[in-house]
A and B are shown apart, each in its own frame.
Chain A
Amino acid sequence: MSQTRHILSFRDFDWTLLLLVLMLCLISLAEVSSTTVHTRFASFETKQMLWIAAGLAGMFLFAKIDYHKLLNWAPWAYGVGLLALAAVLSPLGHKALGGRRWIKLGPVLFQPSEYVKLALILVVARYFANLGARSLTWKEIFKAFALVGIPMLLVIKQPDLGTTLTYTPILVAGLFLGGINLRQSLILLTVGAVLVGGVWSSGKFLKPYQKARLTSFINPQNDPRGAGYQVLQSEIAVGSGGIWGKGAEKGTQTQGYFLPVPYTDFIFAAFCEEHGFVGAILALLLYFFILMRLIQNAQTAADLPGSLLIMGIVAVLTFQIAVNVGMVIGFMPVTGIPLPLMSYGGSSVLFTFLALGAAMNVRMRRFVN
């Protein structure tokens, strides 16, 4: 094993994937700049650039370390993550924007829930890899549920509904690829539906504003001042962009503050308004190529844990893209899930690059063992 490591070279690194990712990063920087240039958040793009640079460094670092080692560390990482989440809820946590989601580490605010996402991908991949490619027993399924469920409970306490939801695709992908059979999945779906219905109507677990946010996208016109406002303004931004868009820094919805947080959660709406249908399709294509490239990497991975690791990442990224873009065009509720690689925000950028680093890692070691 010690010989294998030094013959490893970055020739096997996935440069195509990196190129696609960097193109999206450029779009992101341009859009963050455009949406913040006339606000007190001007020069956010510089900060974003620093985060991307840090992310790239982290990615290369992650790519260097054998993913088997990463998987070995996963239980520890998972434990640390749970502790961090607990710390967020304790008085150590930093409160902002109506939620207790951050821990202050010196000058930077650290959002443990993003880091936990990565730990969860690793630990779930490891869990199902250890079980091998065979049918799962109910006990194993419940164990998987507990593995993902505990951090979910901690995050929803913050409260951060969006991040909580991003943990579910990890579990779903794990179960699907890990060998759940049709009967089991049908039973789980039924139980899940009943549970969701119960949670919804009991009123104990979801705050009224969360419920309103989850439903208002269906009929934003009913409450244009309240919960429907963001959806409506976002749809107006996207729709009024037309085919070619209004041009950078020329989006009336974006520049007039009608669009909520146009540099983070609603950055895709701002992009659609300023660059139109053509720009939006280009961005979606980049995302599509990135996901396809990742799946290809999963296919060519040397072993099962590698594939599961990449597919965990694919699941999270796909889920975030679908929910964020869906929210922006009125298909999905407003949940506060950032768009990976485009939304401004250090934690999100770091997570994405580290996750991609892990995926590169798997690809670089596809011929090695």
Chain B
Amino acid sequence: MVSGKYNRDEKLSTVKLAVVQYGILVMMLALAAGLWHLQVLNVSNFRQLAQQNRIRQVPILAPRGKLFDRYGRLVVDNYPSVSCFLVREQSHNVQADLPLIARGLNLDQDQLRATLHRYRSEPGYRPIPIKQDVTPDEQAFIAAHRNELPELETIAVERRLYPPNGFASHLIGYVGEVSENDLNNPRFAYYQPGDVVGKAGVEETYDELLRGQDGSRDVIVDSHGREVGYFGTQHATPGRDLKLTVDIDIQRAAELALGDREGAIVAMDPRTGEILAMVSHPSFDPNAFAVRINRTEWDKLITDPQHPLMNKAIQAQLAPGSTFKILMSVAGLQEGIAQNLHVFCNGGADFYGHYFHCDRHHGAEDINTAIPDSCDTFFYTLADKLGIDRISQYAKEFGLGEKTGIDLPEEEPGLMPSAEWVLRTYHHKWYAGETISVGIGQGAIEVTPIQLARYIAGVASDGHLVRPHVVFQDQLPAGFRQALLESFPGSGNAYVPIDQQTWITITNAMAQITEPGPFHTASSAHLDGIDLAGKTGTAQVISNATLSHMAKTEQTRPNVWFVGVVPRRNPELVVAVLWMHGDFSYYAARIASRVVAAYVDKQRRLAHNLTPAQAQVPVEVGAVWSAPGASGGGVGEGSGIRGGHFFVTPGAGAGQKIVAQSHPAAQPSRQLKHAPTGPGQLGAVLTALPWKKP
């Protein structure tokens, strides 16, 4: 019935069918073009995406190179620790999990959010470090929440272990997580967010060698993050160990000698420029920085008026005071003026209508007595005769007001004024009166302790100046050594010819300083049987005129210096001491004499084939982890080294604490809580004094 209804001649128009056919053809071509675009043109891009999809890199962190002292004793070690990472792609809603994570890992929720925010542009498979030093409790939390929080992962890492109490902290520096600002810096081009980098001291300068190369274990995962296979391992290359030029014994003697005074000590071998000790107080605990220091502790550090983070040995730019007179003497003798200069000191002298004070009435002075007496009147006269141009010329040759080129970051240049400098900076001519102040190391002149050590050692070494350094250079790859020299420009190694007579006159006069004598400025620092020569310096921080009508406080006291060499000519040790607001320069000399004594004592014992005492075994090493709240050695409560004790007396409170610690190297700061303090440890205290017969 149906078939009859339809007319066989009634057909679909072939035009319409052709339209449909062409439509299908166009569609097919479009799909083929789409496939071509994806599979042929962009194949490498999508292959990479597919790889990223399924390959997850579990980082293998390279252990950082250790630091040893010049005798191969461990200074900075690593210790195994557990870190917690968060892998965003393993959870569907990380943000919702954050409160639980923060609670379980004892983290601040906002800080956690901020951490994640910093990594927002990283791919989702990249693990984000959220917590270091995970405690057993927190590890249990992570294990118990495997299903609820699949994004959490733990990994064993090696963390930095610095000596406690800020021992050599400025020289060593510290490590921290690379900051977002650093990442934009070309120097940090190779780093990724979350990497740990050296941020100060040797850790920063030698970061490239110390850090090694992180490896990774590449595992194949499915879309649920389950490990379904293993792709390969890129092994980590451990960082290179470095040998410091520092001698732990001298460093410890210097730390103890400076105590809790604000200042710095540099001890250097003038023959090579090897730094034997470098101390800057107050110090900080570098352990607190690895990997991230908490906010309050950081604020405390940067708001402290004594600038604990500043390495005063290379960054404090201060007037050298009378230590500058050695340079004046060199200039005076070389120019043939000082030899025949005789001055009668009557407590000062008039120059250009202004009366310049001397602190004593020294009477008749010549170059041989003016140095040990530190007679200002003599050097005012000498400065007047030399003139600023010649003074600044000599100062420049001896590297004052210039970086030394030491292999530590952020060295300051100081300032050596000259006529040309005044014209450039203040646009007026040099006033001859200013020369008089410069003659005693006052006025605009600014130097750093390391500059003073280098220049006085250079004078005592007959004009041979060295580039100070804290790491033995022969252990460095040649390319790195060259790059180091270029990135730390400075006065470096130099030779300034000095007449032999000049040399002998000045060194003899410097040796007189520590000999008994009515006006000798450092006779109380005399060491029997040790040829300690040097120069004191007292640099006012406020002019006498201002000081006369203001209250005297600790801050108005002058900074005091002492730079000493042993022996007087061709010395093997130079010690520069800065005590800020120390008031009397013989204090500085006494501090220096303690370092010198420790050095000479050690050399003599070595020469007589006496072996050093063994390091004390640290007490309760295992207890490190059991007292997480303890924060001994924190910056705020001082370094644990108390002042006022020039001689370590057994049982004398804090001083004993340090000695009992024996080797300061490689103990976590928390250890301090368990350091022996009772009288039962007295024996240990005594034997821990550096040397004993075998």
Contact = CB atoms under 8 A, between A and B. Distances in A.
B is bound to A:
yes
B14 A299 contact: yes
A354 interface: no
B432 interface: no
A182 interface: no
Contacts of B40: 242-243, 277
Contacts of B54: 252, 256, 258
**Dominant SS among interface residues on chain A:** helix
Interface in A209-257: 224-225, 233, 235-243, 252-253, 256-257
Interface residues of B, number: 49
A61 interface: no
A225 B124 CA distance: 10
Given A72-B2, A326-B34, A295 B21 contact: yes
Interface string A327-346: 00111000000000000000
Interface in A40-78: 66, 68-69, 71-72
A329 B34 contact: yes
Nearest to A324: B31
Interface string B1-34: 1110111101111101100110111011011101
Contacts of A347: none
B42 interface: yes
Contacts of A329: 31, 34-35, 37-38
B12 A235 contact: no
Nearest to B88: A225
A272 B222 contact: no
Interface stretch (A84-92, A142-150, A281-289): A281-289
B31 A236 contact: no
**Dominant SS among interface residues on chain B:** helix
B38 A235 contact: yes
B224 interface: yes
B20 A311 contact: yes
B596 to A, nearest CB: 68
Interface stretch (B45-53, B272-280, B471-479, B604-612): B45-53
A280 B13 CA distance: 33
A238 B7 contact: no
A340 to B, nearest CB: 14
The winner among B12, B21, B36 for most chain A CB atoms within 10 A is B12
A329 B11 CA distance: 38
B50 to A, nearest CB: 4
Given A1-B3, A257-B223, A299-B17, A133 B12 contact: yes
Given A256-B228, A369-B3, A304 B11 contact: yes
Contact of B10 (A280, A303, A369): A303
Interface residues of A, number: 61
B28 A177 contact: no
B530 interface: no
Given A240-B50, A256-B228, A303-B3, A291 B24 contact: yes
Contacts of A120: none
Nearest to B3: A68
The winner among A132, A242, A307 for most chain B CB atoms within 10 A is A242
A64 to B, nearest CB: 16
Q: Which 4 A-B pairs have the closest CB atoms?
A: A239-B46, A68-B2, A240-B50, A239-B38
19 contacts: A129-B6, A133-B10, A233-B53, A238-B39, A239-B45, A239-B46, A240-B47, A242-B40, A256-B220, A257-B222, A276-B39, A284-B35, A292-B24, A295-B24, A299-B12, A302-B8, A307-B11, A325-B34, A369-B8
Given A257-B222, A303-B3, 13 more contacts: A68-B3, A129-B6, A177-B16, A239-B46, A241-B43, A256-B228, A258-B222, A281-B35, A299-B14, A303-B6, A311-B17, A311-B20, A330-B38
